[in-house]
Structure 1
Amino acid sequence: MRILLISDIHGNKEALDAAMSVSHDMVVCLGDLADYGPSPSECIDFIMENKIESVLGNHDAAVGSRIECGCGYKYKHLSVATRDYTWEVTSEKQMDFLRHLPFSIQKEIDGLKLYFTHGSPRSNYEYMRPQTPDDEFEEMICGIETDVLFIGHSHQPFVRKFKDMLIVNPGSVGQPRDENCKASCAVFDTVSGEAELIRLDYDIDKTCRKIKESMPHPEELIAILKRGY
């Protein structure tokens, strides 16, 4: 089975459409549907209408429950400003959907135990990065028993072997921050046990026009999208 992993969509419907064009048998979303981007309502509706299983991202919690998102200093002002916009264009039904997303999803497919969450098994505010030391990984993993751990949150795609566990981060669909502006996602093959990181062109100019027409801090948001950081 080919599982398409999408994460950190952040209201970018054009990038989401590109990611969904990748061949797959099922899709799991690793959270953060809203904030930063111009189309949060459309992205949430797409996930809901297509019954795509999704976990709770820190921005989903911030939008749905009106709590602090726990963002780093560098992007905090954009998160706060774009959240006001997000609240204006999303319905109570959409916010309720975000509020009730689960912290994690666990599956067993083709004999493999799979664990899906946003930040780490310990906290959806915690970053597991490509360069995170093994001892910190050990603490974040919290003793879960799984063959493959799927995470998002950092906007940095990577595949890393840690002891007997494969860790896969598909990167960010809607707002990459690894100096590559292409939409990022991944496919995991449950038969081969291998993960493939995928980068895709999308209509970034259309997304930028939407940002310019309706969002706060448009120049900064557009620059981040086009630089990929």
Structure 2
Amino acid sequence: MRALLLSDIHANKPALDAVLEHAHRDAARYSATYCLGDALGYGPHPREVLESLQDLRAQCVLGNHDLGLLQLVDGQRAAAVGTGTQVLVWQIGRLGQRDLRYVRGWKDVIEDAPLGARLRHGSPLSLNEYTDLDAARRSFREWGGSLAFVGHTHIPAAYATLQGTAGEWMRHQPITAAPGQPCTRYPVPPKARVILNPGSVGQPRDGDPRAAYGVYDSDLRTLDVFRVPYDIEHTQRDLRAADLPESLAVRLSAGL
């Protein structure tokens, strides 16, 4: 099975369009689509991104921004001062009840038998937890699976430990493409348990402003992380036209 992995789109439609155009060049590249959370937040195109995910029939998990938006709608969260919340409040005004029903249908975690993996936004254990070295060790101790896909950090990476260990020995490997190169392959080591992050479609934070997405091949046990240029200026213009914080536009050019 080959799976298309999208994460942290953050309402950036030009980035998502570029990723999908690139992925569709090879019709046999994937047979299922997964979104690892944070389709919403930060960007100027919330409804357009949700429509694209529905058209793809993507299986989606909730990200912290997606959940935060629903909590604001339901009065479970105060509209506190802050860039993230400011954008979510703005996005709520652009979404209809059909859009909200769609997001309400997303799960906190997907246990996928065909893919043989757990899918969650933050870590295998939590929607909100950033997967770093400590979180990965804790996940390997407390989660019994061998393959997980996460997002949240906006940085493509792999964490691996040996089967049968409690996670004391672990290797962290960034999955970064060389300048000008469109793809990096991570082969899952034999007899390893791994947590894989395909990076961010709409707001990369590894110093490479190109949109990132992944394709996982369960037969080959490989994750290909692709980097795709997109029309950053289009997204920046729309952010400014919506009078959203300038910092959100600036960071897209730097990939930070």
TM-score range, shorter chain: 0.7 to 0.9
1:8 has 2:11 as partner: no
1:84 paired residue among 89, 94, 110? 89
- Whether contact under 8 Å (2:151, 2:199) holds in the other structure is yes
Rg bigger for which structure?
2
1:169 has 2:197 as partner: yes
* Corresponding residue number in structure 1 for 2:219: 191
The offset of 1:197, in angstroms, is 1.4
How many pairs does the alignment contain? 216
TM-score by length of 2: 0.79
Per the alignment, do residues 34 and 105 of structure 1 end up closer, same or farther by CA in structure 2, a change over 3 Å counting?
Answer: same
Q: Following the alignment from structure 1 to structure 2, what is the Cα–Cα distance between the partners of residues 83 and 141?
A: 33
Q: Following the alignment from structure 1 to structure 2, what is the Cα–Cα distance between the partners of residues 227 and 153?
A: 18
Q: Following the alignment from structure 2 to structure 1, what is the Cα–Cα distance between the partners of residues 201 and 141?
A: 27
Q: Following the alignment from structure 1 to structure 2, what is the Cα–Cα distance between the partners of residues 114 and 15?
A: 26
* Structure 1 residues not aligned, in runs of 5+: 70-75
Q: What amino acid does structure 1 have at the position aligned with 2:130? A: Y
Classify the secondary structure of the residue corresponding to 2:226: strand
* Corresponding residue number in structure 2 for 1:34: 40
The offset of 1:142, in angstroms, is 6.0
* Corresponding residue number in structure 2 for 1:223: 250
Per the alignment, do residues 79 and 50 of structure 1 end up closer, same or farther by CA in structure 2, a change over 3 Å counting?
Answer: same
Classify the secondary structure of the residue corresponding to 1:154: coil
Q: What amino acid does structure 2 have at the position aligned with 1:146? A: G
* Corresponding residue number in structure 2 for 1:52: 58
Q: Following the alignment from structure 1 to structure 2, what is the Cα–Cα distance between the partners of residues 32 and 223?
A: 20
1:149 has 2:148 as partner: yes
* Structure 2 residues not aligned, in runs of 5+: 24-28, 163-191
Cα deviations by residue, 1:110-132 (Å, 9 ceiling, x for unpaired): xx621111001221110003xx1
- Whether contact under 8 Å (1:9, 1:172) holds in the other structure is yes
The offset of 1:147, in angstroms, is 2.7
- Whether contact under 8 Å (2:39, 2:50) holds in the other structure is yes
The offset of 1:108, in angstroms, is 2.5
Per the alignment, do residues 19 and 68 of structure 1 end up closer, same or farther by CA in structure 2, a change over 3 Å counting?
Answer: farther
Q: What's the C-alpha RMSD, in Å, of the aligned pairs?
A: 1.8
Q: What amino acid does structure 2 have at the position aligned with 1:6? A: L
Give runs of ≥4 in structure 1 deviating > 6 Å. Answer: none
Classify the secondary structure of the residue corresponding to 1:89: coil
Q: What amino acid does structure 1 have at the position aligned with 2:152? A: H
* Corresponding residue number in structure 2 for 1:114: 117
Q: What amino acid does structure 2 have at the position aligned with 1:193? A: R
- Whether contact under 8 Å (2:123, 2:136) holds in the other structure is no
TM-score by length of 1: 0.88
Q: What amino acid does structure 2 have at the position aligned with 1:125? A: N
Q: Following the alignment from structure 1 to structure 2, what is the Cα–Cα distance between the partners of residues 113 and 185?
A: 19
Cα deviations by residue, 1:10-38 (Å, 9 ceiling, x for unpaired): 00011111222314222110011111100
Q: What amino acid does structure 2 have at the position aligned with 1:175? A: Q
The offset of 1:103, in angstroms, is 1.0
Cα deviations by residue, 1:58-116 (Å, 9 ceiling, x for unpaired): 111111232559xxxxxx8220111121011111221222223111111233xx62111
The offset of 1:194, in angstroms, is 0.9
- Whether contact under 8 Å (1:11, 1:34) holds in the other structure is yes
1:125 has 2:153 as partner: no
- Whether contact under 8 Å (1:38, 1:215) holds in the other structure is no
* Corresponding residue number in structure 2 for 1:17: 17
Per the alignment, do residues 33 and 215 of structure 1 end up closer, same or farther by CA in structure 2, a change over 3 Å counting?
Answer: farther
